[in-house]
Amino acid sequence: MKPVSRLAIAAVLALGVVASPVVAQKKPAAAPVKGPNLSKEFRAAAQPVQKAMTAKDFAGARAVLGAAQAAATTPDDKYYAGLFAYQIAANLKDTPGSIAGAEAMLASGATPPEQAGQVNYLLGRETYFAKDYVKSLAYLNESIRLGNKPPELLIMAADISFKQKQYVPGLAYAEQGIAAQKASGQPVPQDWYERALGAAYNAKNGPELVKWGGMLVKAYPTASNWRSVLVLYRDSKQMDGQITLDLYRLMRASKSIAGERDYFDYAAIASERGLPGETKAVVDLAVSSDAKLATSKNLAELRSAAATKITADMASLPASERTAAASAAARPSMGTADAYMSYGQYAKAVPLYRSALTKTGADADTINTRLGIALALSGDKEGARAAFSAVKGPRAEIAGLWMIYLDVPATTA
């Protein structure tokens, strides 16, 4: 997964140094309506500081700041001394100085209530980039408590949580941040989804991985994103061959299958389950997608073995269908339906799957998964949705991934 991008966050989080929310709303020269309670000594000591800042001589302002800080006795004195310190340090790109100035503003007890959330956010941001994550998250949470929660703040809180391996609260922050970004009418950066998806993977949380994978591919429906989602899901857990087969079928449908490992594993599983038509089709797809795979001995062997079985296998299907119809057990109907689906004959497979559901020994979750796949690939999205929705247990997540496929626009490169 991509590392957290400071530039990506800074692009939307950066507050103008002189025109930050704090500075813009409470400049040193602009007194509140009731007038600040500034001591005579502080007013005198602050004048050289203001003069130097007005001239943009921030080094000079810092040289005389100490006198103003020493003269600060009232809460308002201390607030303005902190604000001066913050502005000077920010313009001099002195992060520790910026943090100290903003902390002095809060410590003064005179921070206007309407600005307290922004000052806490500013401190959360500064301490984040200083890599003091414990302090940063505390400031960000206080900003949230005070009602100041722009999308970027929430995403920063999510990122800190992920760094500390606190994945569940981090994903909650991320979801709130994305919702806030959408509410603002702004596009959600792809990186926000990717970081949350990576956190769900690191947490080994299948439902969250499916959820965030769906959010990613719905927002950015590319083959590479589908591949990220499905490979992460595949690598996050041990799955039996039947579920893995249905995962590879989704890779194929979403055009996200790639590389010899994917094609070989898919073809090998299909071959092991007696599906020669699907085995050959997968190898043919591999070669047509990547000419280098035409020289793969492993793939060639799978294709050759499958090709010798296809004619007899297809010829046996009508008899298998009659046997399935006469049997009270689900297995013959299920097996014949699987065979028809492997050849892309969905109109034949669907009624057999539905019949299997009514018979003894039916594995309803597997049958509904396969019924959903057959309906999805035949274009019946609503029928597929109903079938996938009925899947419970270990197969619920793969059914959930297929339901995402129903809702996602056509995959792009």
pLDDT above 90 covers a percentage of the chain that reads 88
Q: Please state the φ and ψ torsions of residue 400, each to the nearest 5 degrees.
A: -65, -40
Better-scored residue on pLDDT, 411 or 226: 226
Instruction: Say which CATH architecture domain 6-147 belongs to.
Output: Alpha Horseshoe (1.25)
Calpha distance 248→411 (Å, rounded): 16
pLDDT band, very low/low/confident/very high, at 36 (cuts 50, 70, 90): confident
Q: Angle CA(345)–CA(348)–CA(351) in degrees, nearest 5?
A: 140
Q: Check whether 8 has a pLDDT greater than 60.
A: no
Contacts of 85 by beta carbon, 8 Å cutoff, 6+ apart = 65, 69, 97, 100, 101, 104
Q: Check whether 12 has a pLDDT greater than 70.
A: no
Calpha distance 103→106 (Å, rounded): 5
Calpha distance 321→376 (Å, rounded): 22
Q: What is the mean pLDDT of residues 121-131?
A: 93
Three-state DSSP class for residue 354: helix
pLDDT band, very low/low/confident/very high, at 413 (cuts 50, 70, 90): low
**Both structure tokens of 146:** 């005070």
| Encoded amino acid at 314, one letter | M
Least confident of 185-194, 314-323, 388-397, 401-410: 401-410
pLDDT band, very low/low/confident/very high, at 10 (cuts 50, 70, 90): very low
pLDDT band, very low/low/confident/very high, at 35 (cuts 50, 70, 90): low
Better-scored residue on pLDDT, 413 or 261: 261
**Both structure tokens of 71:** 């003269």
Tens-digit pLDDT profile for residues 348-367: 999 999 999 999 999 999 99
Q: Check whether 389 has a pLDDT greater than 90.
A: yes
Residues 373/246, Cβ–Cβ less than 8 Å: yes
Contacts of 128 by beta carbon, 8 Å cutoff, 6+ apart = 136, 140, 156, 160
Calpha distance 161→170 (Å, rounded): 5
As a whole number, the mean pLDDT across the chain is 90
Short-list 324, 326, 327, 328, CA closest to 340:
324
Q: Check whether 296 has a pLDDT greater than 50.
A: yes
What is the residue-wise DSSP string for 48-97?
HHHHHHHTT-HHHHHHHHHHHHHH--SHHHHHHHHHHHHHHHHHTT-HHH
Tens-digit pLDDT profile for residues 132-146: 999 999 999 999 999
**Both structure tokens of 65:** 């700041």
Residues 153/180, Cβ–Cβ less than 8 Å: no
Tens-digit pLDDT profile for residues 312-321: 999 999 999 9
What Å distances lie between residue 355 and 172, 331, 371, 381, CA to CA? 43, 10, 11, 20
* Identical fold, 6-147 and 320-407: yes
392-398: list long-range contacts, CB under 8 Å, 24+ apart.
392/365, 393/365, 394/243, 394/365, 395/243, 395/365, 395/366, 395/369, 396/365, 397/206, 397/207, 397/209, 397/210, 397/233, 398/243, 398/246, 398/247, 398/250, 398/369
Ranges of each domain in the chain = 6-147, 239-308, 320-407
Residues 250/230, Cβ–Cβ less than 8 Å: yes
Q: Check whether 25 has a pLDDT greater than 70.
A: no
Place of tokens 């995402």: 404
Q: Check whether 381 has a pLDDT greater than 60.
A: yes
Q: What is the mean pLDDT of residues 256-272?
A: 95
Calpha distance 267→303 (Å, rounded): 8
**Both structure tokens of 182:** 């959408």
**Both structure tokens of 267:** 């073809």
Contacts of 263 by beta carbon, 8 Å cutoff, 6+ apart = 257, 282, 283, 285, 286, 293, 299
pLDDT at position 34:
60
Residues 390/400, Cβ–Cβ less than 8 Å: no
Better-scored residue on pLDDT, 179 or 12: 179
Three-state DSSP class for residue 412: strand
Third-level CATH fold of 320-407: 1.25.40
Q: What is the mean pLDDT of residues 152-160?
A: 97
